[in-house]
A and B are shown apart, each in its own frame.
Chain A
């Protein structure tokens, strides 16, 4: 088997966890790494992960990724937890190994090879239980530090929003120095929203230029729960941010938005899979990309509406701006509708920067590059403006 499955000295090796890891390994071995023939991965080719050099990332205690607003911050480096906030009202944060009874319940391990692999390594991560109304956003600051070797790390979070709870969680992926290794960051977030709870989940993916970043957000939403997400991807060589949402009861709602900006030679993948299981559920997706160089943007979006799920609405829009002739976009929207009285739509469009607009700006003295940047900003702001928190919205505008 691949060197991706190595023997590990787990910190916590309880019988329950041993069983979970074993099941996960079986699920992974059944599938193996995705190949060109794997339908769910047909646009995003996993390249060099079987390389013999990949090793578990060593423990390093660096911090980074400042934000210009007040927040509760958890520092994570090379997949190790470096520091945590002291007690925060409305939230319990524990190691993931204490969430054994919740593991693997939000997605099917046999459909997600990387999540299965993540399960095999399960040892580090966070069990975040939100019980109240969080005053400040909680930030998970993931950091990688420079090394010559190719490392991998696996990180798992279980996030539970208890009934009526409300929180903002930001995940931030950064690196330090000149990071040229092809590390793999493999993240799984298992998220449950209980009745009437609200979770705003924001993510900034700014990995080093040769990195592989694979993330699964598996979200289960109960009655009147609301999940709002936005993910900005602008780093890594191969990155996939995948969101699986199950709207399990009436009034459940999900917003799954994203933006990506890529130059050079990279693949940025946004994959969504949204299940409307009950009537009166709602989902919306807007993803916008800006792709230059020889980069490739991938959007796969599925909306599934179960037979009983009447009076639901599911909308999806993907738009991309191509900055070069060699940039590529692959889009696969899928609507599976088995109910009546459903409002569903999907749309996709891609184009280039508008020449008339560029000329107009330049004719007023604005330099060509600056003019392009203004147009790109405007293009992306359109989706960033959907973020409900003003401070975080402005922060994302400054990041892109």
Chain B
């Protein structure tokens, strides 16, 4: 069996004074792809933000280890440099910062952390263009301010491009498929599959089984009311698609 990459134990977290993550447990080993499905408002995005260290998300209990290190004591950028990447459900627009400028800062910050030499402009442009082409992102789009005025699908493709370039050890995809047309979803799924290897792990948050047909998960979890209520394999996703979450959601 592969070594554990991410170990979440009894994690509790709140946001805006409201307890959202409640005794959450999950271990993800190297090379595994886990999918999380669950009703709206269950706390899936909250979990991904907590793992990234977003300010305002307060951990009230439990522990998270990443590559054996205490993840929760690291700053947002340290986590990213250690290899955590989140495709955000709602990517952020940054007016005035061209996508290439943004990507260059990011890639070099991470390379510096890995003690790799910084990419010069030529090397960097070659890399972005190559990866961009695979995701249908052209030079025009790369010159535009990051995510500003991008369509929903374009934003998700840009997220996938960032992931392809930064090559994280652990990627969280928070509804990477929402807003994508069928062709774009295939393109994004392919970029995910290209990254998939023996060491790299992923956590895929989605509402639709469709993405999981392309990126086949090793495990599927049902997430409700702040924690995992059922775990299974690929078939669980199909079951959920048919029956919904009714049996997992407590009557209020």
Contacts and interface: CB of A to CB of B under 8 A. Distances in A.
B103 to A, nearest CB: 8
Given A365-B106, A374-B105, A357 B94 contact: yes
Which 8 pairs of residues, A with B, have the shortest CB-CB distance? A378-B96, A360-B92, A364-B106, A365-B80, A362-B76, A365-B109, A365-B110, A362-B77
A363 B109 contact: no
B156 interface: no
Contact of B80 (A357, A362, A375, A378): A362
Nearest to B103: A364
Contacts, number: 72
B109 A370 contact: yes
B86 A363 contact: yes
B97 A374 contact: yes
A374 B52 CA distance: 21
A360 B77 contact: no
A361 interface: yes
Given A355-B55, A365-B110, A367-B109, A360 B94 contact: yes
Taking residues whose C-beta sits less than 8 angstroms from the other chain, chain B's interface range is 20 to 34
A111 interface: no
Contact of A378 (B97, B110, B113): B97
Contacts of B69: none
B75 A362 contact: yes
B55 A360 contact: no
B233 interface: no
B102 A365 contact: no
B166 interface: yes
B106 A366 contact: yes
Contacts of B79: 363
Interface of B: 52, 54-55, 75-77, 79-81, 85-86, 88, 91-97, 101-102, 105-106, 109-110, 113, 145, 162, 166
A359 interface: yes
Contacts of B95: 378
A379 interface: yes
A374 B92 CA distance: 15
A359 B97 contact: no
Given A360-B91, A364-B166, A379 B96 contact: yes
A379 B94 CA distance: 10
A357 B92 contact: yes
B96 A381 contact: yes
A368 interface: yes
A370 B77 CA distance: 11
A382 interface: yes
A356 interface: yes
Given A374-B97, A379-B96, A364 B75 contact: no
Nearest to B110: A365
